[in-house]
Amino acid sequence: MTELDSLVEAARGSFAQAQTPADLENAKALYLGKSGRITEMMKGMAALSVEEKKTFGAAVNVAKQGIEAALTARRQALADAELAIQLKAEAFDVTLPGRPLTQGGLHPVSLTLERIEQIFGSMGFEVAQGPEIETDWFNFTALNTPEDHPARSMHDTFYVEGGSEAAPNLLRTHTSPMQIRYAVQHVKAHRAAAGAPSEGLYAGEMPEIRVIAPGRTYRVDSDATHSPMFHQCEGLWVGENVSFKDLKFVFTDFCRTFFESDDLVLRFRPSFFPFTEPSAEIDIQFQTGPLAGRWLEVAGSGQVHPNVIRNMGLDPEKFIGFAFGMGPDRLTMLCYGVNDLRLFFDGDVRFLSQFQ
Ligand code: DAH
């Protein structure tokens, strides 16, 4: 093997060892670079005779072409290998089945609220929304609730910043303040329309007040059947000739429609609330199914107290009505047979997705 042949062999060997394009360029410099072996040989030819130049020059050229061919081949091999790695890293399996899109749904209590609104809506009730941060006036005082009522205690109610020291703001403990808020607006609008003075108790013409007010309510309370945040739905019907009989009819009709059960029985059990007189708890009893035979409390109710009628801006000699407050969370539990209220508010999709 000539010296040139072994030079080409050596170049092939070091090109083969190069693992990256940078290594390869370094190896190339040793042979074809400015002071590489081939370049040096060509420079050295100046000292040779014409005859020697011819033969030696031709041989060096053959060697140079051999080295260049080896270099090109290795460059291509390295580029191919790099591409192969890249393709492998980016590969995805087009035959895999797609991931299903999960679809969200309404919370079970929202489903109940929708049903409540729909059923009372069909009986001509409006739906009103009100603030969750309330004043002492709307939550207690306007509802005829005395200063020493236990609901006003720090232990039962979340007081928040705002209001005065004597009458701090609070997270509403029930939806009943909406009775006052809604009625006051209603009365204001209709007494203006009737051209009556804006002061004093109103005793003129007015369309009946018929409204429900669903929403979140708050109390310092937590166990399997009480949550610090829970829902209520208030109902109010005030007119010139609204009686307890209407309350019984409306609420019975609501319960039977809600629970889709015609033989559901209701009981109005005498009770006390500061804002109603007389007052009653409403219990229901299923005649069939797992809860059959038990009395289940679902709402408080009563005839609106004359002081509350006054705080609405109405003359209690002329206007009379009934109110009720029910627990949509409780209705949802009864509807689906859920025994722990807290499950509704833990936010666990394994529980919540069962209602879709
Ligand atoms: N606000 C009462 C409560 O939270 C429930 C209630 C009772 C509402 C009687 C009423 C009513 O409208 O008339 O316990």
**Looking at per-residue confidence, does 92 or 217 come out higher?**
217
Q: From the CA of 347, how far away is ligand 1's center (Å)? A: 28
Which residues, in sequence order, are CB contacts of 353 under 8 Å at separation 6+?
105
Six-digit token string for 309: 């009628």
Q: Determine the average pLDDT of the residues in 74-80.
A: 92
**Chain mean position to CA 264:** 35
Q: Specify the ligand 1 atom closest to the Cα of 174.
A: 4
pLDDT digits (tens, 9 = 90+) for 333-343: 999 999 999 99
Q: From the CA of 155, how far away is ligand 1's center (Å)? A: 19
pLDDT digits (tens, 9 = 90+) for 106-141: 999 999 999 999 999 999 999 999 999 999 999 999
* pLDDT more than 70, % of the chain: 100
Ligand 1 residue neighbourhood (C-beta within 6 Å) = 174, 176, 234, 273, 276, 279, 300-302, 323-325
pLDDT in the model for residue 40: 87
pLDDT in the model for residue 52: 86
Q: Determine the average pLDDT of the residues in 231-255.
A: 97
Q: Determine the average pLDDT of the residues in 83-98.
A: 90
Q: Specify the ligand 1 atom closest to the Cα of 304.
A: 13
Task: Name the pLDDT band for 1 (thresholds 50, 70, 90).
Answer: low
pLDDT in the model for residue 48: 85
The residue nearest atom 3 of ligand 1, judged by CA position, is 174
pLDDT in the model for residue 33: 87
Q: Specify the ligand 1 atom closest to the Cα of 143.
A: 1
CA dihedral 51, 55, 58, 60 (to 10 degrees): -110
Cβ–Cβ under 8 Å, residues 38 and 31: yes
Q: How far apart are alpha carbons 167 and 152 in whole angstroms? A: 10
pLDDT in the model for residue 43: 86
Q: How far apart are alpha carbons 237 and 208 in whole angstroms? A: 7
155-164, 207-216, 308-317: which has the minimum mean pLDDT? 155-164
Q: Determine the average pLDDT of the residues in 145-151.
A: 86
pLDDT digits (tens, 9 = 90+) for 32-41: 888 888 888 8
Does residue 299 have a pLDDT over 70? yes
Q: From the CA of 275, how far away is ligand 1's center (Å)? A: 8
**Looking at per-residue confidence, does 85 or 166 come out higher?**
85
Cβ–Cβ under 8 Å, residues 220 and 158: yes
Q: From the CA of 100, how far away is ligand 1's center (Å)? A: 46
The residue nearest atom 12 of ligand 1, judged by CA position, is 324
Does residue 207 have a pLDDT over 90? yes
Helix (H) or strand (E) holding 216: strand 209-218
Helix (H) or strand (E) holding 301: strand 296-304
Six-digit token string for 257: 């429609």
Strand partners, 171: 133
The residue nearest atom 7 of ligand 1, judged by CA position, is 300
pLDDT digits (tens, 9 = 90+) for 155-204: 899 999 988 888 899 999 999 999 999 999 999 999 999 999 989 999 99
pLDDT in the model for residue 296: 95
67-71, 141-145, 292-296: which has the minimum mean pLDDT? 67-71
Does residue 268 have a pLDDT over 80? yes
Task: Name the pLDDT band for 4 (thresholds 50, 70, 90).
Answer: confident
13-27, 33-47, 71-85, 101-115: which has the minimum mean pLDDT? 33-47
Tokens 């109390």, residue located: 219
